[in-house]
Amino acid sequence: MADTDNKPKKITEENLPLEREFIVTQPFTTTSEGVKAIKEENKFQKILTAKYSKQILNGKIVSTSGKKPDIENYVIELEDVKKSYITGDVDTPVLKGINLQLRKGDFIVILGPSGSGKTTLLNIISGLDKVSSGDVFVLGNNLSLLKDSHLTKFRRENVGFIFQQYNLLTNLTAKENAEVGENLSRNKNKDLTINDIFETIGMKEQMNKYPHQMSGGQQQRVSIARALAKNPNILFGDEPTGALDEEMGRKVLEILVDVNKKYKTTVIVVTHNPNIALIANTVIHVRNGLIDEIKNNTNPKKPSEIDWS
């Protein structure tokens, strides 16, 4: 029977077509400078977004830079990405021209001091924020040209989040909190049940407990369970061990490493702790809004082996 559903189809790593229609938009040009130029560029971006957003979710690759993403090898590709915040007539640049390629299935750590732009970079590649200019290809979708509603749809169907604050629903049990994540997924993994997830995070005995009955480390593990229940292509963590003591922090990192290896989930963690970077395959050093250095680690350490001080 023919599919008469005109809703955009979810693109996953499993069904990601390697040959998709590639569209290069007309490049933006202006003779203006400063804040005026940024506002003109933002206006041009909104025009492109209105024209192409639905087409992108339907599988077209749309580029503003002329770059065609290598979706067979890379889960995320950034081309000349810039992000500025405008207050009145003052332009505050945060990201100043990021070029980046991240491989599928890697464990990636984004490292940098406070104010370096690392959290903004995470927000950009996870679809929580939009760039001022440049291309942000995630699973072949150019997030820089998606409407807010389409960005929400993309996040819901493709990515999981673990934050420093656990953000659990206090009136639901651990299992029910995880089921919230499962219900958001349209790409359910029959081989990965809620029971399997709680087994992975070592919380099977606490499935029916409420958040107030659990320690901070246990609540963080439940937040990981909720993220995994979505069966995400990419799992993002923003300082996921920042509020935990050493014992629980190591446990959370062990779970993330296990998830990366067991389910081939791409894991991307932002941290200011250089010791945590030792467990990653790829380490991205961010400084002053630019990529300062990218290191590939062929022999990552186990979380139990790193110095926590």
Give burial (CB, 10 Å; 0-12/13-18/19+) of 264: exposed
Q: Give Cα separations from 200 to 29, 149, 194, 254 (angstroms).
A: 51, 33, 10, 10
pLDDT at residue 17, rounded to an integer: 43
pLDDT at residue 100, rounded to an integer: 96
Instruction: Let me know: does 99 contact 78? Beta carbons within 8 Å.
Output: yes
Query: CB atoms < 10 A from the CB of 175, how many?
Result: 20
216-229 and 246-263 are packed helices; what angle lies between their axes, rounded to 10 degrees?
A: 20
Q: Which residues make beta-bridge pairs with 266?
A: 234
Which residue ranges make up each domain of the chain? 150-305
Q: Which residues have CB under 8 Å from 109's CB, separation 6+?
A: 268, 269, 270, 271, 276, 277, 279, 280, 282, 283, 284
How far apart (Å, rounded) are the C-alpha atoms in residues 164 and 216?
10
pLDDT at residue 300, rounded to an integer: 96
How far apart (Å, rounded) are the C-alpha atoms in residues 193 and 75?
25
Fold of 150-305: Rossmann fold (3.40.50)
**Given the structure tokens 């041009």, which residue do they identify?**
44
Q: Which residues make beta-bridge pairs with 294?
A: 284
Give burial (CB, 10 Å; 0-12/13-18/19+) of 10: middle
The one-letter code for the residue type at 182 is E
User: Three-state SS for 45?
Assistant: helix
Strands 141-142 and 133-138: antiparallel
**Given the structure tokens 């062929």, which residue do they identify?**
298
pLDDT at residue 189, rounded to an integer: 58
What sign does the CA torsion over 13, 15, 17, 21 have?
Answer: negative
Mean pLDDT by 10 residues, the chain (309 residues): 44 46 79 80 90 94 93 95 88 94 96 92 95 94 96 92 88 95 69 85 93 93 90 92 87 92 93 94 96 94 90
Own/partner pairs, 126-129, CB within 8 angstroms, 24+ separation: 126/155, 126/159, 126/161, 126/234, 126/236, 126/268, 127/151, 127/154, 127/155, 127/159, 128/155, 129/83
Strands 74-87 and 141-142: unpaired
How far apart (Å, rounded) are the C-alpha atoms in residues 302 and 273?
15
